[in-house]
Amino acid sequence: MTIHWDERYARRARLMTGSAIRELLKLTEQPDFISLAGGLPAPESFPIAEVATAAQAILRERGTQALQYGATEGYRPLRELIARRMSGGGLTVAVENVLITSGSQQALDLLGKVFLDAGDRVLVESPTYLAALQAWNGYEATYLEAPMDGAGLDPDALGSHLRRVPKFIYCVPNFQNPTGVTLALDRRHRLVQLAAAHGVPIVEDDPYGALRFEGDPLPSLLALVGASDNGASGRDAGGVIHLSTFSKTLAPGLRVGWVVAPAEVIARLALAKQGTDLHTGTLDQCIVHELLAGGQIEAGLGAIVARYRERRDAMLAALTEHFPATARWTHPDGGMFVWVTLPPGADAVELLPAAIEQGVAFVPGAAFYPNGGGERTLRLNFSNASPERITEGIARLGAVLREY
């Protein structure tokens, strides 16, 4: 008798399907190919020498600790440093409010594990981050969609959704993935008010906040809630679960992210993490701590921002030059993505094979809508390729669009 694997898979496994982005990445490894599809940081920005120096110091000074099992909650000096750096302006973050995760992706998965039963509703921006959907599809979530414009989601359009008691609201307020749009300050205030009034927590995902090219930084939803009296308990940060990562400001290969949340939520997430991977890599956490404590991560930010700004500018200029006048696109103040709306009648999924044939790739926007739609949209990444390659890639795509 042989094993029929398909019959053995769990219901959720049968629902899980591949990420369009990652499957695309596999197609686009030929040398002259220009992929604007991924979400990779610029490799030229990795502080390789600094990582090497930190690794040597750590292994020399506390090598046995860096190679041993560690606490599920994370390397305590790193948690303390994150708590200290995130506190301020009325917000107090204690070490008990911080969990280190294996990248932000793990935080999304742990949130699903702790909060989502099959059929539970999550209120997401529309469009929203693809890999969050992928994580929560594994828990059989359903989605309510909050329409967005150039100032982010509109809180005042959320009433009927909030009355349907979503388990949480998922929001990427800064330079959102996929649109590049930033949630306006007045809407931030209104969103945290409304969420508190309805007793619905907000999951604030902020991987890109440090990558601001222009304009003043806006307060996080966490800071707005923490600075008011909405907190569920004393020093905890009320109804906001805040996620971030070192993947964009240091290096994604280290897989170190973090969560800030009320201590009781952190304890639950840690319990779930224990059964999931025991803890995040110790050496990786020590390296991040060393470079955060030593100021090298902050020192590197200026160069990353300057590099990405130049690439965004190259992309926006090339779009103006090569795309039809009836197409529209966002003008992100930071981050890694531009969002394009194609001329009426166009379909990005149909366009993709021709684009790949011409040596350029993007992600069709439909992938970012949990309940369908977005056929006319696509996401372009500007962080990974050089300005010249971006210009060439957009020119290729413009030619494909004219043929289409």
* Closest to a copy of itself by CB, 113 or 396: 113
* Closest to a copy of itself by CB, 265 or 394: 265
Span from 156-164, 274-282, 293-301, 324-332 in contact with a copy of itself (CB under 8 A): 274-282
Q: Shortest gap between Cβ of 389 and a copy of itself (angstroms)?
A: 16
* Closest to a copy of itself by CB, 9 or 324: 9
Residues 338 to 367: which contact a copy of itself by CB under 8 A? Answer: none
d(CA 80, CA 97): 10
What string of H, E and C letters represents the secondary structure of 167-235?
Answer: CEEEECCCCCCCCCCCCCHHHHHHHHHHHHHHCCCEEEECCCCCCECCCCCCCCHHHHHHCCCCCCCCC
Asked if 163 touches a copy of itself (CB under 8 A), the answer is no
Strands of the sheet containing 168-171, edge to edge, are 98-101, 257-260, 240-245, 202-205, 168-171, 121-126, 142-149, 152-153
231-260: string of b/e by CB count within 10 Å (b at 16+)? beeeebbbbbbbbbbbbbbbbbebbbbbbb
* Closest to a copy of itself by CB, 43 or 89: 43
Q: Shortest gap between Cβ of 37 and a copy of itself (angstroms)?
A: 13
Residues 279 to 308: which contact a copy of itself by CB under 8 A? Answer: 279-284
- Interface residue with a copy of itself, options 24, 34, 72, 212 (CB under 8 A): 72
Q: Shortest gap between Cβ of 220 and a copy of itself (angstroms)?
A: 17
Asked if 226 touches a copy of itself (CB under 8 A), the answer is no
Q: Shortest gap between Cβ of 13 and a copy of itself (angstroms)?
A: 4
* Closest to a copy of itself by CB, 106 or 391: 106
* Closest to a copy of itself by CB, 44 or 357: 44
- Interface residue with a copy of itself, options 40, 81, 354, 395 (CB under 8 A): 40
Residues 234 to 253: which contact a copy of itself by CB under 8 A? Answer: 238-239, 247, 251-253
CB 242 within 8 A of CB 220: yes
Residues 132 to 151: which contact a copy of itself by CB under 8 A? Answer: 134-135, 137-139
* Closest to a copy of itself by CB, 115 or 170: 115
Tell me the pairing of strands 360-361 and 34-35: parallel
Structural tokens at position 28:
């686009």
Provide long-range contacts, Cβ within 8 A and 24+ apart, for 288-292. Answer: 288/78, 288/246, 288/250, 288/254, 288/256, 289/75, 289/77, 289/78, 289/81, 290/54, 290/57, 290/58, 291/47, 291/50, 291/51, 291/54, 291/250, 292/78, 292/81, 292/82, 292/85, 292/246
Phi, psi for 153 (deg, rounded to 5): -70, 155
Residues 185 to 214: which contact a copy of itself by CB under 8 A? Answer: 196-201
Let me know the angle formed at the C-alpha of 333 by 331 and 335, rounded to the nearest 5 degrees: 100
Size, binding site for a copy of itself by CB under 8 A: 93
Span from 16-24, 294-302, 319-327, 370-378 in contact with a copy of itself (CB under 8 A): 16-24
Kindly report the number of other CB atoms within 10 A of residue 131's CB atom. 17
Q: Shortest gap between Cβ of 59 and a copy of itself (angstroms)?
A: 4
d(CA 1, CA 3): 7
Span from 67-75, 89-97, 297-305, 356-364 in contact with a copy of itself (CB under 8 A): 67-75
Asked if 157 touches a copy of itself (CB under 8 A), the answer is no
d(CA 64, CA 280): 16
Residues 116 to 135: which contact a copy of itself by CB under 8 A? Answer: 116-117, 120, 131, 134-135
Span from 109-117, 146-154, 171-179, 386-394 in contact with a copy of itself (CB under 8 A): 109-117
d(CA 178, CA 39): 10
DSSP label at 239?
A: T
- Interface residue with a copy of itself, options 152, 226, 262, 332 (CB under 8 A): 262
* Closest to a copy of itself by CB, 52 or 151: 52
